[in-house]
Structure 1
Amino acid sequence: MDGIETFNSLPAGELEADLLAVCAAPAWGRTVAALRPYPSKEALLTAAGTAARGLSWPEVVQGLSAHPRIGERAQGDSKEAAWSRREQSAAAGSADEETRAALIAANHAYEDKFGHVFLIFASGKSQEEILAAARARIGNDEATERAVVTGELGKIALLRLERLIDALD
């Protein structure tokens, strides 16, 4: 059985736990699960992307609750914590102390302005790139930033969902 067949056949409780590890917004997981069976991985990813874009702001905030600050190590043994550490690992080793300190300051300034963690699809980005994005996004208004955050959460969810499907192969 390939990954998508296994995904389609997972018991509801197991699938719910896996999808919450992918994205901590329960509404997203319910939507993705409700649309089973999927004919292909691509169909699943398309539906998951649509579900992420359709989240309300309170649902996005639920999804944010599971993400550590950029540069902070996710704690625990969960799949989600392991994925977070992996996503941030390349960036974590790429910056000097000055950049790390500036990123901490940018995180705090962002949180003071918007009331939630700075979320970015960190895979493949250096800390310098992340810092530049944080500084630029602090200039956004609330509506613009909510749209950006929703998009970033969706990108992270899709990457993690792909990893989940690949692990089921």
Structure 2
Amino acid sequence: MSNSLAGFNRRPRAEAEAELLACCASRAFAAAVAARRPYAARERLAEAAETAVRELTWPDVLEALAAHPRIGERPSGDGRESRWSRQEQAGAHADAPEAEELRAELAAGNRAYEQRFGYVYLVCAAGLSGAELLARLRARLDNDEETERGVVRDELVKITRLRLGKLMEGEGR
């Protein structure tokens, strides 16, 4: 099956939605983006995806968050989403001597975040070191609920755009 935009536009709706769930694991997201096909350009697809993420109800955002592993934990499974998560979180899995201490601090930060907000800490980890991920986590612990929900949506948009690019390039098939 073609990974091009034209191929994506031609897929049966259920197949397009299944592909989109690898980018953002909200069924409402996948349905909204698939329903707006055809897209004339990849940027139009990316814009539609951003709009769909921003329009999700909070329960739909939580559905998407449930598919994300904790920062610093290796995702289980061999599916496309797990492979992409491992690539995105590469900075959190360095083999430096201080890496074990960093992983322990990330685990403690994840627990504190989940106790504070009630959901997994989400950050677009691509290109960030473990220390940068930890610093962002700690800074976000000071956010109020409304501010943090906005940050979560922004991070979900970044991750979704990144993964849409991978989907269109055929990575992880």
CA RMSD of aligned residues (A): 1.5
Shift of 1:90: 3.2
Choose which of 156, 164, 169 in structure 2 pairs with 1:166: 169
- What residue in structure 2 maps to residue 138 of structure 1? 141
Matched, 1:99 2:125: no
Q: What secondary structure, in the 3-state scheme, does the structure 1 residue paired with 2:170 have?
A: helix
Q: Which residue of 2 aligns with 1:23?
A: 24
Residue segments in structure 2 that go unaligned for 5+ positions in a row = none
Matched, 1:36 2:37: yes
TM-score (norm. length: structure 2) = 0.92
The answer to whether the Cα contact below 8 Å between 1:90 and 1:126 also exists between their aligned partners in 2 is: yes
Residues 99 and 2 of structure 1: CA distance in aligned 2, closer, same or farther (over 3 Å): closer
Structure 1: runs of 5+ lacking an equivalent: none
Q: Indicate the larger mover: 14-23 or 107-116.
A: 14-23
Is the contact between residue 17 and residue 34 of structure 2 (CA under 8 Å) also seen in structure 1?
Answer: yes
Higher helix fraction: Structure 1 or Structure 2? Answer: 1
The one of 145, 149, 156 equivalent to 2:159 is 156
Per-residue CA deviations over 1:14-70 (Å, capped at 9, x if unaligned) read: 111111111111111111101100000111111111111111111100000000100
Q: Which runs of 4+ in 1 moved over 6 A?
A: none
Deviation at residue 97 of structure 1 after TM alignment = 2.1
Partner of 2:83: 82
Instruction: For 1:79, give the aligned amino acid.
Output: R
Distance 1:100 1:83 in 2: 19
**TM-score between the two structures when normalised by the length of structure 1:** 0.94
Amino acid at match of 1:17: A
Say which structure, 1 or 2, has more relative contact order (CA 8 Å, 6+ apart). Answer: 1
CA offset at residue 2 of structure 1?
A: 7.0
Distance (Å, rounded) in 1 between the aligned partners of 2:129 and 2:91: 7
